[in-house]
Structure 1
Amino acid sequence: METSVNAEALLPILLGLLLAVTPGTLSANPGLVARITGKGLEYAAKEGLLALQRDLHKITLPDFTGDFKIRPIGRGHYDFHSLEIHSCELPHSTLKPLPGQGLSLSISDSSIGVQGRWKVRKSFAKLQGSFDLLVQGLAISVDLLLGTDPSGRPTVTAPRCSSRIYDVDVDISGGLGWLLNLFHNQIESRFRKVLEDKICEMVQKSVASDLQPYLQTLPVTAKIDSLAGIDYSLVEAPQATAQALDMMFKGEIFNLHNRSEVAAHAPVMSLPEDHEKMVYFAISSYVFNTASHVYHQAGYLSFFITDDMIPSDSTIRLTTKSFRAFAPRIARLYPNMNLELQGAVIAVPLLNLSPGNLSLAPQMDIQAFVLLPSSAQEPVFRLAVGTNISAMLTLDTNKVTGFLNPGKLQVELKESNVGMFNVELLEALLNYYLLNTLYPQVNDKLAKGFPLPLLNRVQLYDLALQIHKDFLYLGANVQYTRV
């Protein structure tokens, strides 16, 4: 039985409601909200601290020079050069929401070790040696301003950065190390100023060259199949509250070849105040509705059944002879002819999300035709078909999969050119077709899953799913895999 058109049409629609997508052009509410909790920000701070610690080793410290005058030695000139950071410890950090702006990163109780060389020139004499410098009590404070660019991707800048070093200790060795130690306070003050400036310069450069490009890996659109794509763009800048960071995505499913506005509105989603997981996704039923609109408008929610699609061992055939028992007139008017059923979903089927339940109730119109010897089609009767479908969802590290639980069809005879007849036998045929052919094909495709829109190298674990009124609520912890 070949029903690829139906399976391909149902798959994106049913998976669409699992995707991280959001409201359409006419909607004031987001279709997807991604909430990063304090626990998630704590994890992000930990991972960011490791990256920052690696970057600090890359700081190029400038040489600096100065003159000295010490009795009875007189005047001289010193030069510190070949400065390298050889150790860096950043044990404590916090990343908190900065309401109305973005995030605030604070790093405290840190230390940095620096090694280098020194030279002293006095008249025609020149001496040199090495030094070790230990910076302790380093504190860094950075504001991260979050926004969105014209494409809908998140942006980040660091407009404010401050660093403070509370203690600098320089140990100078070499022939005139005792001399340089006489004015170590001046040297330590110079080192403190250089390091404080360089640390903030490096942090702001890292935000621009590392963090911002990483945020750009969030997909703005993704292709579902040859017809449809998904819009993952942000509808506004990320919103920081006292306890979390919320990101609102557009996420409508659209026709790749002829995008048009979808006359649907995303419902208001009242997210639970959960904080046990690192991240939560609230996925509106609007996603399903935009998918339904696209595939219905494109004619994908239609099908046909002919006799050669019925299993050979079936006792029910799509022939006038087989229908003779419950519609005698059809066999008399059209002896020994085949039938064809052409069906279509009448209106855009809407997803119903209620606590603990996910279902839809498509209404179909099925027209029966007799295939005449001339190859013409003669309409003989029309049926109204309704059913209820429930779905089960499963989740893994980066994708959502589904499984359909079909309900029984309810078939009603709407009009007939061959007299009234009992539709029970035809109802059994349609149920057999759906249960044994269409649903298994769709479930095979649903089992392959569809990826969630995630940044590069991010995976989800400890996933939990709840179904609330009008939205799915997914909680998860996050694992960042380093390259």
Structure 2
Amino acid sequence: MGGVIVGTYFLSIFVALLLLPSTFAELNETRYDLRHSRFKIVDESEREGSNGLGGEISDSRKETKNIPVGGSDLDVAGIMITPSESGLNYVKEVLVDQILQEITPLALPDIKAHVDSPIGTIDTRISHIELSGANVSYSDVDLGKTGITVFAGDIQARLRLHWYYEYSAAYVPFPINDGGWADVEVNGMQAGVTFTLTTHNGTLRLTVVECGTFIDDLDIELNGGASWLYRWFVYAFDEEIRAAIETAISNKIVASAEQLDNYLQGLPRNLPIDDVSAIDVTIVGDPLVSPTFLSVGVKGEFTSLLKPINFTDPDHGLEPGLFCSDSTKMVTIALCDYVINSATTVYFEAGFLEWLVDELPQESWLNTHFWRWLIPQLYKKYPNMDMALDFACSTPPTVQLQRDGATANAMAELILLVKTDEKPLPVACISLALSMDAVVNVVGNNITAEATLNDLSLELKWSDVGNFPVNLLQPTLRTVISRVILPILNKKMKHGFPLPVLPAVDLENADIRYEEGHILICSDVYYKGGIFTPPPAPL
């Protein structure tokens, strides 16, 4: 028995010597890139038309979404999105966590070696290699001229594998073999990816520039067989194991980046609000990346789903890098007054800024008897007849955003109608100049507003019952506008319109800050998941 053990021991030493890198034996084995560089350059020509891993890009990435007709052709940013340092750190943590979930457990390819020697043939194999239990101790994000780098360091992971060898020779009556399992602790692993964000077909294109993984140390513990004899046998595969892990993880990171790119390419270029309008969320220009911030500009213009509208080109857009400077919130969304004014134009052109009022809190107001002291000739001509009020904006309302708040001005016409047996009969038209204060809020991922009447000016435009002093109508019409017209308008504005954030993200604890010509929405974000989740399989 002692002779067998000694013979096996020397045979194992011989096998290991043959497998060490310094040996002169010629190995027929699986090849890996053994360079321990931190990043591996990804050739852009390999990516064009492929997913970076040899697969074709799906047709959905090549499609361009149709944008509603109408609007301005001038590409200026009506909405600017700028993550803060805390926001970038949150994005980094989400990316690292999601990529770890995508990577582990990770099955690695088998590693084999076949050696023909003067004393016989030796076949060796490491199989069933699986990486699991990865933990990241440190991660960072860097904004540089070459792109955005996400780096994870001091990664600890576990590796489980099965080792096996078989020796045969003409003078040996039967093959000699042994095998067992090995547990490997992967220590000090580093992984990083650098990518760029550019505009592509109205959305963002994510392109991996560099990606790589480096392992500092492997601690191998063998189980089964004569494992105490063969520890160095597995260590002979140290370089191959490292290379297999590094290559597989780098490929997985690139695949996850491609998945994120596909998600971005599939985002809509416009967000429908209702049957009347949509908001144009195409990306304006390449994102601006600086050492201190990342800004993405969105057109933000409302477009009509009913008919083309030619807007007056805005005289300015939002500049990148707009921050809520003294805020700890994760993201700042700047919204230009042009966005809101494009919305009022669309709804004005669609006829949605006019209302027929035939019900009032005080029904007596809708009878000529109520107006007998204000417009005596109306009551004299149409005594005790029911009335209606036709309110319509004559031009699109305009909104001004200033440091002390938001105001809106509107020109409107109010037609007094008398209900006859045939149809309502217009008897007088009053021109209105309304000045309103507005309060902007964020509800969920939507921006909403509420208006209150500030000032009201009246002028008689025409009358079929003769001239009358319109100033006497001021208290009554203020009440009608405040209690009837504005509640109708506020009910519509209560639903608001969606801000251009990813569907997988919710805004939380948003604050509003007013600036000259724009507002700043300072908010935290919460990732709900879904970007890296594959779509459900068809039934």
TM-score, normalization: structure 2?
0.76
Structure 2 residue 170 is matched with structure 1 residue 119: no
Give % identity. 25
Q: CA deviation at 1:364?
A: 1.4
Verify the 8 A CA contact 2:276 2:304 in the aligned structure 1.
yes
Amino acid at match of 1:32: I
Unaligned runs of 5+ in 1: 1-22
Shift in CA distance, 365/132, structure 1 to aligned 2, threshold 3 Å: same
Q: CA deviation at 1:107?
A: 1.3
Query: Corresponding residue for 1:199?
Result: 249
**Mapping 1:198-217, distance limit 5 Å:** 198-209=248-259, 211-215=260-264
Structure 2 residue 139 is matched with structure 1 residue 90: no
Query: Corresponding residue for 2:517?
Result: 470
Amino acid at match of 2:101: R
Which of 402, 409, 416 is residue 456 of structure 2 equivalent to? 409
Query: Corresponding residue for 2:359?
Result: 309
Amino acid at match of 1:428: P
Moved more, 357-366 or 333-342: 333-342
RMSD of the TM alignment (CA)?
3.0
Moved more, 416-425 or 236-245: 416-425
Structure 2 residue 287 is matched with structure 1 residue 238: yes
Structure 2 residue 101 is matched with structure 1 residue 54: yes
Verify the 8 A CA contact 2:222 2:231 in the aligned structure 1.
yes
Distance 2:389 2:490 in 1: 23
Which of 221, 224, 230 is residue 171 of structure 1 equivalent to? 221
Verify the 8 A CA contact 2:127 2:162 in the aligned structure 1.
yes
Verify the 8 A CA contact 2:374 2:473 in the aligned structure 1.
no
Q: Which whole-Å deviations, capped at 9, do the CAs of 1:97-147 have from their partners, x for residues lacking one?
A: 233x54211111112221111111111112111212222221112112223
Which of 352, 360, 373 is residue 300 of structure 1 equivalent to? 352
Q: Which whole-Å deviations, capped at 9, do the CAs of 1:43-86 have from their partners, x for residues lacking one?
A: 11112222222222232211111246999x87622111111113
Q: CA deviation at 1:384?
A: 1.8
Query: Corresponding residue for 2:334?
Result: 282
Verify the 8 A CA contact 1:66 1:77 in the aligned structure 2.
yes
Query: Corresponding residue for 1:393?
Result: 440
Which of 302, 313, 316 is residue 253 of structure 1 equivalent to? 302
Distance 1:93 1:267 in 2: 39
Query: Corresponding residue for 1:36?
Result: 83
Verify the 8 A CA contact 1:267 1:470 in the aligned structure 2.
no
Query: Corresponding residue for 1:20?
Result: none
Amino acid at match of 2:245: L
Q: CA deviation at 1:362?
A: 0.5
Structure 2 residue 153 is matched with structure 1 residue 108: yes
Amino acid at match of 1:464: D
Shift in CA distance, 169/222, structure 1 to aligned 2, threshold 3 Å: same
Unaligned runs of 5+ in 2: 1-69, 169-174, 531-539
Distance 1:24 1:235 in 2: 14
Distance 2:303 2:296 in 1: 21
Q: CA deviation at 1:214?
A: 4.0
Structure 2 residue 398 is matched with structure 1 residue 350: yes
Bigger RCO of structures 1 and 2 (CA < 8 A, at least 6 apart): 1
Q: CA deviation at 1:447?
A: 4.1
**Mapping 1:312-391, distance limit 5 Å:** 313-314=363-364, 316-319=365-368, 322-333=370-381, 340-368=388-416, 375=423, 377=425, 380-391=427-438
Query: Corresponding residue for 1:5?
Result: none
Amino acid at match of 1:84: E
Which of 267, 271, 274 is residue 316 of structure 2 equivalent to? 267
Distance 2:452 2:424 in 1: 37
Verify the 8 A CA contact 2:134 2:156 in the aligned structure 1.
yes
Shift in CA distance, 178/74, structure 1 to aligned 2, threshold 3 Å: farther
Which of 177, 183, 198 is residue 147 of structure 1 equivalent to? 198
SS in structure 2 opposite 1:134? strand
TM-score, normalization: structure 1?
0.84
**Mapping 1:429-468, distance limit 5 Å:** 429-448=476-495, 450-468=497-515
Amino acid at match of 1:298: A
Q: Which whole-Å deviations, capped at 9, do the CAs of 1:383-421 have from their partners, x for residues lacking one?
A: 221121112233344333433222242212234454332
